[in-house]
Amino acid sequence: MGMMMIRSTGMLLKALAMVAGLGLAGLPMAHASAKVPETKPGRIVIVGDAHGDFDQYAALLMEAEVINERGSWTGGETVLVQLGDVIDRGDKSRNILDLLKSLQKQAPRSGGSVQFVIGNHEAMNVKGDLRYVTAGEFASYETPQSSVARDDYYERYKTYLRDNLEDGKWLTFDDVFRADWDKKHPLGWVEHRQAWAPDGVYGKWVIEQKAVIKLGNLLFVHGGISPKYARASLKEINEAVTKDLKAGQDEAATITNESDGPMWYRGMAQNPPAEEASNVDAVLQHYSVDHVITGHTPLTEAITPRFGGKVIVADVGLAEYYGNAFAYVEVIDGVLYAVQRGQRLVLPMAEGAPLKAYLEKARSLEADAPRLNAYMESLFPAN
Query: What pLDDT, in 10s, does the model give residues 207-258?
Result: 999 999 999 999 999 999 999 999 999 999 999 999 999 998 777 889 999 9
Helix or strand run (H / E) with residue 221: strand 218-221
Closest C-alpha among 351, 364, 206 to residue 277: 351
When pLDDT is cut at 50, 70 and 90, the band that residue 34 belongs to is confident
Closest C-alpha among 302, 323, 292 to residue 379: 302
Rounded to an integer, the average pLDDT of 29-36 is 59
pLDDT at 26: 38
Query: What pLDDT, in 10s, does the model give residues 232-246?
Result: 999 999 999 999 999
Q: How far apart (Å, rounded) are the C-alpha atoms in residues 313 and 304?
A: 5
Query: What pLDDT, in 10s, does the model give residues 318-365?
Result: 999 999 999 999 999 999 999 999 999 999 999 999 999 999 999 999
**186-197 as b/e, with b when 16 or more CB fall inside 10 Å?**
bbbbbbbbbbbb
Question: Mind giving me the DSSP string for 304-341?
Answer: EEETTTTEEE-----SGGGT---EEEEEETTEEEEEET
When pLDDT is cut at 50, 70 and 90, the band that residue 23 belongs to is very low
Q: How far is CA 333 from CA 54, 167, 206, 250, in A?
A: 29, 68, 30, 43
Question: Mind giving me the DSSP string for 38-64?
Answer: SS--SEEEEE---TT-HHHHHHHHHHT
Residue 1, pLDDT > 80, answer no
Q: Are strands 311-313 and 304-306 parallel, antiparallel or unpaired?
A: antiparallel
Helix, strand, or coil (residue 72)? coil
Q: Are strands 291-294 and 311-313 parallel, antiparallel or unpaired?
A: parallel
Q: How far is CA 215 from CA 37, 44, 108, 192, 218, in A?
A: 7, 9, 16, 33, 5
When pLDDT is cut at 50, 70 and 90, the band that residue 167 belongs to is confident
Sketch the domain layout of the chain as residue ranges. 2-19+43-135+193-379, 143-187
User: Nearest 5°: CA angle at 164, between 252 and 167?
Assistant: 115
pLDDT at 165: 84
| Summary mean pLDDT of the chain | 91
pLDDT at 103: 98
**275-298 as b/e, with b when 16 or more CB fall inside 10 Å?**
ebbebbeebbeebebebbbbbbbb
How far does Cα 380 stand from its chain's mean position? 31
- β-sheet bridge partners, residue 129: none
Q: How far apart (Å, rounded) are the C-alpha atoms in residues 2 and 65?
A: 17
Could you say which DSSP state residue 131 is in? T
Q: How far is CA 339 from CA 22, 60, 69, 89, 312, in A?
A: 34, 10, 20, 24, 13
Stated pTM of the model: 0.91
pLDDT at 317: 98
Helix or strand run (H / E) with residue 148: helix 146-164
Class of domain 2-19+43-135+193-379: alpha beta
Q: How far apart (Å, rounded) are the C-alpha atoms in residues 59 and 219?
A: 26
- β-sheet bridge partners, residue 114: 80
When pLDDT is cut at 50, 70 and 90, the band that residue 2 belongs to is very low
Query: What pLDDT, in 10s, does the model give residues 48-69?
Result: 999 999 999 999 999 999 999 9
Residue 282, pLDDT > 50, answer yes
pLDDT at 210: 98
Closest C-alpha among 343, 358, 364, 303 to residue 46: 303
When pLDDT is cut at 50, 70 and 90, the band that residue 166 belongs to is confident
When pLDDT is cut at 50, 70 and 90, the band that residue 21 belongs to is very low
Q: How far apart (Å, rounded) are the C-alpha atoms in residues 127 and 263?
A: 14
Percent of the chain past pLDDT 90, that is, above it, reads 84
Q: How many residues are present in the chain? A: 383
Residue 19, pLDDT > 50, answer no
pLDDT at 38: 67
Residue 188, pLDDT > 80, answer yes
Considering only residues 20 and 281, tell me which one the structure prediction assigns the higher pLDDT: 281
80 with 47: CB under 8 angstroms? yes
354 with 281: CB under 8 angstroms? no
Residue 5, pLDDT > 60, answer no
pLDDT at 18: 41
